[in-house]
Structure 1
Amino acid sequence: MDFDPIEKERIIRKIKHCLALSASANEHEAAAAMRQAQKLMQKYRITEIDVQLSDVNRTEGAHAKAKRPAWDKNLSAVVAKTFNCKSFNCTSWHPIIGRRNQAVFIGVTPAPEIAKYAYDTLYFKVSNARREYVAKARRGELPRGRYTPETRGNHFAEAWVYQVHEKLLALVPEQDDIPAQAQGQAQALSLAENHDNALIEAFIHQITEWEGVGKARARKTADANLDDLIAGFLSGSQAKISHGLTTGAQTVPAIEAQ
């Protein structure tokens, strides 16, 4: 049945409300809510997967460029992995500016919103750090290197992202760090993540008409000046990242320079 997407969203919200009520301790109320949910699903030909996919969402990074450098793609990838999302490069065409590329995050709500917030915040930080490093290279304030200031800035930024990735991973507890009494919760979380990943894959296939997403081409890694990499590592280590970052609340300064 084809009907307006807004109307479909409204019906799915109603079905989800009924399904939530079906978990009531009151048996009669729970049974009535389940019957109502099933009736709506049959009437509008909405499947269980339709209801589940309604929780999957996509967000777009705030920064768009004609070509995204490797450090930018690495940043969106590590942020997506941290928050159990998938990240992609979205290409669009602007009638005046031309070709534009930006990061896209797909995941189960609210993960994409949190990933976008983390990515945008970290992008701002690494861009500023890179800009200052490039300026120093142009002024001759750095040891001489084999590459142009712009390329040296890219190598610096890649090291910065690598260092911050380690900090993001520290926010996620390792399996060995989980107390014995919480092992059951850890297993449940693992199952939930697997379920979310399956929904994300189904969502991606749906929006790409079951063609999936093309694989990124392998990129030849260039050698870099050791000084640039060390500087990037040191700068990245000065980015403070707290657990407040996982809320995605823009009113909380979760990431700041020391």
Structure 2
Amino acid sequence: MRKYGVEDGDILMAEVSEAKVKAGAKTKPVKWESQLSTTVATAFGCRKIFVQELKAGYWTFIGCGPAAEIATYAYTVLMRQLRKARSEYQQTHCKRLVPASRTRRADLFCEAWVAGVRRQIEAFAGTQANEEALEVYMAKEYPDLGTLVPRDRQAGKSLRDGDVNARAAGWNAGRKATLNHGVDNKPLAIGQ
């Protein structure tokens, strides 16, 4: 190891990989998108960072073995389901609202959707992280990493009756989210 300048940390870092997926925002993602990426990263034993490249933003999942790739897949599938559920909610329950209220209710719906799917995705993943390897990797590859503060469009606003209903609908919809295992392609309802 001395001959080639290899340290113990380099050996640990060998099992760490990165995978990225495009985010919905270029510079500052909304709160519910950040919550979903955090939930997925935690469930699969990964770290996540938001990276701005050229004119787009990306979530980068960093994990040991295939965890980063699997987290990227799970995030992509869940984000697709969340956006579809958000659109359906807005079309069904927000028809008569002004655009600002429509967005606000949809954001509350999405935040609750992520909360509803959290336990199920963690049980589905069941991945243990090699914390030591991730710490070494993050310290070496991202030494000057800042803190992401997502956009919170709900900050300073009190909840109304319709807002509570939006959260309840989001929670129920999130519990119905599904993922497919890549091996046998059988649908697995993570809410059951």
**TM tier, smaller:** 0.7 to 0.9
Taking the TM superposition and a 5 Å limit, the aligned residue runs for 1:97-136 are 100-136=56-92
Q: State the SS of the aligned residue for 1:171.
A: helix
| Shift, 1:70, TM fit | 0.9
- The structure whose RCO (Cα within 8 Å, separation 6+) is larger is 2
Give deviations 1:75-130, integer Å, cap 9, x for gaps. Answer: 00011111111112112223xxxxx2221111111111111111111000001110
Q: Conserved in 1, the CA contact under 8 Å of 2:18 and 2:63?
A: yes
Find the partner of 1:252 among 173, 181, 185. 185
Q: Conserved in 2, the CA contact under 8 Å of 1:159 and 1:236?
A: yes
Q: Which residue of 1 is the match for residue 137 of structure 2?
A: 203
In structure 2, distance between residues paired with 1:168 and 1:83: 9
Q: Which residue of 2 is the match for residue 238 of structure 1?
A: 176
Q: Which residue of 2 is the match for residue 49 of structure 1?
A: 9
| Unmatched tracts of structure 2, length 5 or more | none
Structure with the higher fraction of residues in helix conformation: 1
In structure 1, distance between residues paired with 2:77 and 2:188: 7
In structure 2, distance between residues paired with 1:82 and 1:127: 21
Q: Conserved in 1, the CA contact under 8 Å of 2:178 and 2:189?
A: yes
Q: State the SS of the aligned residue for 2:18.
A: strand
Q: State the SS of the aligned residue for 2:41.
A: helix
Give deviations 1:182-210, integer Å, cap 9, x for gaps. Answer: xxxxxxx9xx74xx1121121112112x3
In structure 2, distance between residues paired with 1:254 and 1:69: 29
> Could you state the TM-score of these two structures normalised by the residue count of structure 2?
0.80
| Shift, 1:171, TM fit | 3.4
Give deviations 1:110-164, integer Å, cap 9, x for gaps. Answer: 1111111111110000011101212234533xxx699521221111111001000
- Sequence identity, in percent? 23
Q: Conserved in 2, the CA contact under 8 Å of 1:239 and 1:255?
A: no
In structure 2, distance between residues paired with 1:229 and 1:110: 34
Q: Which residue of 2 is the match for residue 226 of structure 1?
A: 164
Paired residues, number: 184
In structure 2, distance between residues paired with 1:105 and 1:125: 20
In structure 2, distance between residues paired with 1:138 and 1:45: 61
The amino acid of 1:151's aligned partner reads R
Taking the TM superposition and a 5 Å limit, the aligned residue runs for 1:1-258 are 41-66=1-26, 67-94=28-55, 100-140=56-96, 148-171=101-124, 193=129, 196-208=130-142, 210-211=143-144, 213-217=145-149, 220=155, 222-224=157-159, 225-241=163-179, 244=181, 249=182, 252=185, 254=187
Q: State the SS of the aligned residue for 1:116.
A: helix
In structure 1, distance between residues paired with 2:71 and 2:3: 36
Q: Which residue of 2 is the match for residue 30 of structure 1?
A: none
The amino acid of 1:49's aligned partner reads G
> Could you state the TM-score of these two structures normalised by the residue count of structure 1?
0.61
Aligned CA RMSD, in angstroms, stands at 3.1
The amino acid of 1:231's aligned partner reads A
Q: State the SS of the aligned residue for 2:51.
A: strand
* Pair member with larger Rg: 1
